[in-house]
Amino acid sequence: MKTQTTSTQLRNARKAGIASFVGTTIEWYDFYVYSTAAALVLGKLFFPSTSALAGTLAAFATFWIGFVSRPIGGIVFGHLGDRVGRKKTLIITLMLMGCCTTAMGLLPTYAQVGFTAPVLLVVLRLLQGIAIGGEWGGAVVLSSEHAPKGKEIFYSAFAQQGSPAGNLLATLAYLAVSTLPDHQFMTWGWRIPFLLSAFLVGVGIFVRLSVEESPAMQAIKESKKIATLPIAEVLRDYKALVAMGVGACVIAISVTYFKTTFALSWAVTSIGFDRTQFLSVITAAIIVQLIVQPFGAVLATKIDLKKAILYMLLPEIVTLPLMFSLIATRSTPLAMIGMSLASIPAALYYASMAGILAKSFPVQIRYTGISLAYQICGALFAGTTPILGQYLLNATGTIVSVIALGIMHVLITLACALMLVARIEGHSIQTAQDAVPARL
Q: Which amino acid is at 369?
A: G
Q: Is the pLDDT of residue 103 over 60?
A: yes
Range name among 30-44, 84-98, 111-125 with the lowest pLDDT average: 30-44
pLDDT at 234 over 80: yes
Report pLDDT for 437: 46
Q: N- to C-terminal Cα distance for the chain?
A: 38
- Assess whether pLDDT exceeds 80 at residue 285: yes
A 10 A CB-CB count for 435 gives 7
Q: Which residue has the higher pLDDT, 404 or 228?
A: 404
The 10s digit of each residue's pLDDT in 119-131 is: 898 889 889 889 9
Mean pLDDT of the chain: 87
Positive/negative CA dihedral, 6, 81, 377, 338: positive
Encoded amino acid at 240, one letter: A
Percent of the chain with pLDDT over 90: 42
Angle at 58 between CA 56 and CA 60, to 5 degrees: 70
Between 95 and 64, residue with greater pLDDT: 95
Per-residue pLDDT at 145 exceeds 80: yes
Predicted confidence at residue 49, as pLDDT, reads: 66
User: Rounded to an integer, what distance in angstroms lies between the CA atom of residue 293 and that of residue 286?
Assistant: 10
Q: How many Å separate Cα 196 from the centre of its chain? A: 20
For the range 217-224, what are the long-range contacts, defined as Cβ-Cβ under 8 Å and sequence gap of 24 or more?
Answer: 217/85, 217/86, 217/145, 217/363, 219/363, 220/363, 220/364, 221/85
| Spatial CA neighbour of 86 closest among 205, 215, 232 | 215
pLDDT above 90: residue 211: no
User: What average pLDDT does range 78-84 have in this prediction?
Assistant: 91
Q: CA nearest 346: which of 300, 381, 315? A: 315
CB 254 within 8 A of CB 398: no
pLDDT of 438 strictly over 60:
no
Give the model's pLDDT for residue 147. Answer: 86
- Please name which of 308, 84, 329, 97 lies closest in space to residue 218, comparing C-alpha atoms: 84
Q: Is the pLDDT of residue 182 over 90?
A: no
Looking at residue 3, its pLDDT comes to 42
In the CATH scheme, what is the homologous superfamily, with its name and number, of domain 8-202+227-434? MFS general substrate transporter like domains (1.20.1250.20)
- Answer yes or no: is pLDDT of 54 > 80: no
Region 239-252: mean pLDDT is 94
Q: Where are the domains of the chain?
A: 8-202+227-434
Residue 218 binned pLDDT confidence (cut-offs 50, 70, 90): confident
Helices and strands of the chain, counted as H and E runs = 24, 0
Is residue 436 very low, low, confident or very high in pLDDT (cuts 50, 70, 90)? very low
Return the pLDDT at 433: 47
Q: How far apart (Å, rounded) are the C-alpha atoms in residues 126 and 67?
A: 8
Report whether pLDDT(40) > 90. Answer: no
Confidence of residue 439 (pLDDT cuts 50, 70, 90): very low
Q: Find the angle CA(82)-CA(87)-CA(90) to the nearest 5 degrees.
A: 90
Residues 6+ apart with CB under 8 A from 420: 241, 244, 245, 248, 356, 357, 360
Quote the distance between the C-alpha of residue 391 and its chain's center. Answer: 23
- The predicted structure's pLDDT at residue 4: 39
Per-residue pLDDT, 2: 40
Report the pLDDT value the prediction gives residue 59, as an integer from 0 to 100. 66
DSSP codes joined into one string, 29-44 = HHHHHHHHHHHHTHHH
Contact of 227 with 233, CB cutoff 8 Å = yes
Q: Is the pLDDT of residue 57 over 90?
A: no
- Percent with pLDDT over 70 in the chain: 92
Higher pLDDT, 387 or 337: 337
For residue 434, pLDDT over 80 is answered with no
Query: What is the average per-residue pLDDT within 398-404?
Result: 94
